[in-house]
Chain A
Amino acid sequence: MTLEIGRKYRGGKYFVWCSEHYDPRKAPGASSAALIAPSSSPKGIFDNLHSDCESEDVHSSLIKGYRRTFKRLAKAWLADGSLTKVQHDEIVSSIQSNSWQIWRPVLFVIPKGGITPSRIIDVPARDRAAYGPEYQIHDLDASEFEVMER
């Protein structure tokens, strides 16, 4: 859904919350990566969402959360004028539909070398799920990452 919304309605720009470690459980025990919370692990999120979609779990807390976030974003974008009412309605109708396809996870692989360091924001410890490092990029362009799916 993120991929589609970014492509169709946000001019190919994305706000991403990311990690340098795909699977923190595989990181050496003494490293900071080992301190990344399971709820912030890219592999953990990917696997859980994939499993929720495969089993069509109508109680999926991840999907419920994403649905609410996208609805808030659609309202915020409508209010700031970056989305028309027609586009707003398309986003809201899609996320409220019975589609499972839109929630299938994709992995953004972002080569760090191509991103100016000042654009990579270190998430403050108080806003992380645990002590392990987490990053954000607020204006990632579609040309700056590859998409992987299962």
Chain B
Amino acid sequence: MVKEKMKDDARFKQCNKEFMYTFTFFVFNILLVFGLTFPLGYNVDASEIKLVLGFPQWYFYGVIVSFILLSISTFLMVRFLFKEMSLEGYEDAEGLNDEI
């Protein structure tokens, strides 16, 4: 076997996916906070701002509610999209360790 092609560690396919999920989550975070905050409060005069549980409406939804939604969606992302795998430097050299 002279010019054997170097194979990539199979686990990294899943790692790349998880990187993309996390990046998508970042975009989601921005859209969520922007979507809840700015339509409700941007350039709205102080006298017209409604209070929800004592907070300005835009703050209640944009900061407090979005925090709760972010926590839930992190749980869902990790639960359904992330996969468990061995973190050892190399997987079983014989390729017996196929689970990812």
Bound together: no
Q: State the B residues within 8 Å of A (CB).
A: none
Q: State the A residues within 8 Å of B (CB).
A: none
